[in-house]
Amino acid sequence: MANWAARVEWNDAGDLTDVALERIAETLRAHAAAACREREPDRASVNLTVEANTLRQADDLALRLVRDAVHAAGQRFEPSGVEVLDEATFAARLAEPTIPPLVGYAEIAEIAGVSRQRARELGNLEGFPPAVVETQAGPLRVRSQVETWMSTWERKPGRPRKASS
């Protein structure tokens, strides 16, 4: 038998209470379960572990366990998604950073080969990636988005001409 990490999502019709979520998690305590509402309205999910010989068996078992726990809590169960991962894949996913690498003006200047002052000006150009975090030191942007934008940026050498009056 192998251990599997499973996530089961279902539509809760908006009537899922905190008490019901606690009952679901308690029913599945032997499976190290955590139950929660999703960001999307009227959705809920349970993360749990199961033992099974095959992926298909793990999938079926996770669905059955969650269905039974949701019904025992007096709720309707309309599954909308199931994900089952082997232990190695689950551990590898947990090890991945949840926040992508971010860059500020200093890093943008280094990537673009420009001054920090010019890096600040790039932020005003059309299509430049938006800031995902604002800090006292300035906005932070996703590094890969900045690099992608830089790869298509049509640089013009020299200073722009002054507008004639």
Predicted pLDDT at 56: 97
What pLDDT does 58 receive? 97
Query: What integer pLDDT is reported at residue 86 of this predicted model?
Result: 95
Q: Tell me: the pLDDT tens digits for 106-139?
A: 999 999 999 999 999 998 898 999 999 999 989 9
Final residue before a domain boundary, out of 95, 118, 143: 95
Residue 108: domain span: 102-152
Helix and strand counts by DSSP (H, E) for the chain: 6, 7
Q: What pLDDT does 111 receive? A: 93
Same domain? For 141 and 117 the reply is: yes
Residue 100 and residue 144 in contact, taking contact as beta carbons nearer than 8 Å: yes
Q: Domain check: are 70 and 117 in the same one?
A: no
CATH number at residue 74: 3.30.70.3190
Out of 57, 80, 95, pick the residue that ends a domain: 95
> Taking the complete model, does pTM exceed 0.75, yes or no?
no
Contact between 6 and 90 (Cβ < 8 Å): no
Residue ending a domain, among 95, 123, 142, is 95
Q: Are 86 and 124 in contact (CB under 8 A)?
A: no
Mean pLDDT, consecutive 10-residue stretches, the chain (165 aa), reads: 96 83 96 90 92 97 97 93 95 90 95 92 92 93 96 77 62
Same domain, 85 and 8: yes
Q: How many domains does the chain have?
A: 2
5, with CB counted inside 10 A (0-12, 13-18, 19+), is buried
